[in-house]
Amino acid sequence: MRGWRFIVRGLALPAGLVLAVSSSWAGDLAPLSVRTLGGTSLSLPRDLPAPHTLVLLAFRHADQAGLAQWEASLGLSGNRQDWLEIPVVGVSNPIIRSMIVSGMKGKHPSAAERNHLAPLFGDSEAFARAFGTSGTQIAVLVVDREGHVLAHVEGAYEATKAHILNEALIGQ
How large a percentage of the chain has pLDDT more than 70? 84
pLDDT reported for residue 11: 38
Count other Cβ atoms within 10 Å, centred on residue 126: 12
Nearest to 101 by CA among 81, 85, 122, 120: 120
Contact 144, 29 (CB under 8 A): no
Q: Domains plus CATH for the chain? A: 37-171 (3.40.30.10)
Q: From the centroid of its chain, how far is CA 102?
A: 21
pLDDT reported for residue 7: 40
State the chain's mean pLDDT as an integer.
Answer: 83
Who's near 148: CB < 8 A, 6+ residues apart?
9, 27, 28, 29
Mean pLDDT of 98-115: 91
Relative orientation angle of helices 64-74 and 159-171, to the nearest 10 degrees:
60
pLDDT reported for residue 27: 66
Who's near 166: CB < 8 A, 6+ residues apart?
74
Secondary element (H or E) of residue 105: helix 94-107
Mean pLDDT of 165-171: 89
Q: What is the pLDDT of residues 136-151, one digit of tens each?
A: 999 999 999 999 999 9
* C-alpha to C-alpha distances, 114 to 64, 87, 106, 117, nearest whole angstrom: 15, 12, 10, 5
Contact 89, 100 (CB under 8 A): yes
Q: What is the pLDDT of residues 54-94, one digit of tens each?
A: 999 999 989 999 999 999 999 997 778 999 999 999 988 99
pTM above 0.85, yes or no: no
